[in-house]
Amino acid sequence: MKITARAFGEIKVVDLDGNLKTPSDMEEFTNFIDKELEGNQKKFILNFKLVHFINSSGLGRLILALKKITEKKGSLGVVNLNTDVDELFTITRIKEKIPVFTDEAAALEHLK
């Protein structure tokens, strides 16, 4: 998984490229979020445009990230979910915990 980030003021848009599926994907994702939180970054928008699949462990890591961000009184949003991932978010009711946006501008506006 390739992870890059773009800063918009105090919000960071994190572009995820690849699936959140293997143990190394999980580690990369968790390490990235941990490092950002250590650097006092608090507001995140995860861009799932290039993520095609998340398995149950990947979802677990996403929840873990949400918990850590919430503990630091930060906020998290996701954007550009594909149909499969969107359905997974619906079934598991993750949408009730993490706001989902259809475009980046709306997400940025919400997290301001």
Residues interacting with other proteins, by CB under 8 A?
A: 52-53, 55-57, 59-61, 63-64, 67, 84, 90-94, 96-97
What is the DSSP code (8-state) at residue 94? G
98 or 106: whose CB is closer to other proteins? 98
Under DSSP, is residue 24 helix (H, G, I), strand (E, B) or coil? helix
What tokens appear for 106 in the block?
């709306």
For other proteins, give the closer residue by CB, 33 or 108: 33
Distance of CA 53 to the CA centre of its chain: 13
Distance, in Å, from the CA atom of 59 to the CA atom of 94, rounded to the nearest integer, reads 9
- Nearer to other proteins by Cβ, of 42 and 68: the residue is 68
Quote the least distance from Cβ 31 to other proteins, whole Å: 14
